[in-house]
Structure formats: C-alpha cells, structure tokens
Amino acid sequence: MGVASGVNNAVSRIAALLAVAALGLVLSSVFNRQLGRTAGTLPDQIRQQVIEQRDKLAGMDVAEESGRHVVNKAFIAGYRAVAWSAAFLGVMGAFSAARWIRSAADEQAKTSLGP
C-alpha cells in the first residue's frame, strides 16, 4: 500500500509540473501572437517599448494608455486560452475516469458472477 501511494504522489507531482509548463507555454504563445497582431496599431515609440518588454507579459511598464490597453488585451487572450485548455482537460479527465471506473465495475461484476 505504501509503494502505490508513493507512486501516485510522484505521478501527481510530475503531472502538475508538466501542466504548469504546458499551460505557461500556451499563455506565452497566445500572448505573443495577439501582441504581434495588435502592436502595429501603436505609435512607433510605444510599439518599440512594448516589443522590448515582451517577456514581462502583463508586467510591462508602458507609458501610454493605448500601449497598456494592447498589452492587457493580449494577456487576457492568453489567459482565456489557458482557462479553456484547463476546462477541456478537466472534462476529458472526468470522461476518462468515468469510462475506467465503469469498465472496472463491469469487469468485477463479470468475475463475481462466475462462469
């Protein structure tokens, strides 16, 4: 029983680590794509300021309100993608668990009935 608990704990921690990394990649990718699309509407000086600080995500220090609006809009797009991805993975996990539990219950019923 102790070994199974340890394995379960280790797998859970590794899965959480991978989920944070994968969802961080989704956020960064969508943020950069959205920022690239909308930064062209900014004045040259503000656009350069935004591009130079791209790696700070929503923590950018942008002097003008229009630049702040573009950055916020890009971050919200990235966050929305992360939220939808997490929701999708949660629903898929629920379906997977329901299928496995049902399969295990069916298998147990078959073996308890005998030949």
DSSP states along 85-99:
HHHHHHHHHHHHHHH
pLDDT digits (tens, 9 = 90+) for 32-58: 999 999 999 999 999 999 999 999 998
74 exposed, middle or buried (CB, 10 Å; 0-12, 13-18, 19+)?
buried
| Contacts of residue 43, Cβ cutoff 8 Å, sequence gap at least 6 | 64, 66
pLDDT digits (tens, 9 = 90+) for 51-83: 999 999 989 999 899 999 999 999 999 999 999
Domain ranges for the chain: 2-113
85 exposed, middle or buried (CB, 10 Å; 0-12, 13-18, 19+)?
middle
